[in-house]
Amino acid sequence: MVSQFGFVLLFMIAGIFLVLLVLGIARILRPSRPNPEKNAIYESGEETEGTAHVSFNLRFYIVALIFILFDVELVLLFPWASVFGDKALFDDTKGVWAIYAGIEMFIFVFVLALGLVYAWKKGHLDWIKPSQEETNFKSPVPKELYKDINEKYA
């Protein structure tokens, strides 16, 4: 008799075995003729430039966080829906169950929606590039001078 944890172990072993098997077969069958063009990173046909270690705009993280908020909410909604639609429970309680579970989920979604409203109101959803402001600084050096120098030594 295999226990529940035994099944998990079997799945892990089967998973590792399957990956090794498929990759092994591919290795035996495929021709191996690498060249620099083939080894290059595939980026939708674009040629890659520079490293991937650059700082991303912080706004990506905020949007990702808000996305996660609702993503996790959905994960919880599915099991809730299966319990909510349980006919036996509904009949046992003469419909009180549906009201109770429904209100509970409404509170949950409401609290999350408040989070979105808060982020919205704070302006975290606006994707506006910081505009460059013209300075009022008046330089005594005329602009033409720079232009002349640039043209002379271009």
Shortest distance in whole angstroms from residue 43 CB to other proteins? 33
Indicate the residue among 59 and 122 with the shorter CB distance to other proteins.
Answer: 122
Indicate the residue among 20 and 114 with the shorter CB distance to other proteins.
Answer: 114
3-state helix, strand, coil in the chain (%, to 5): 65, 0, 35
d(CA 89, CA 100): 12
The DSSP bridge partners found for residue 46 are 43
Q: In terms of Cα–Cα distance, which of 107, 105, 102 is closest to 89?
A: 102
Contact (Cβ atoms closer than 8 angstroms) between residue 98 and residue 84: yes
Half-sphere exposure of 31 (CA within 13 A, CB side): 3
Residues 75-134 that bind other proteins (CB under 8 A): 111, 114, 118, 121-122
Shortest distance in whole angstroms from residue 14 CB to other proteins? 25
| Binding map of other proteins across residues 3-42, x = CB under 8 A, - = no contact | ----------------------------------------
Indicate the residue among 48 and 57 with the shorter CB distance to other proteins.
Answer: 57
Q: Which residues bind other proteins (CB under 8 A)?
A: 111, 114, 118, 121-122
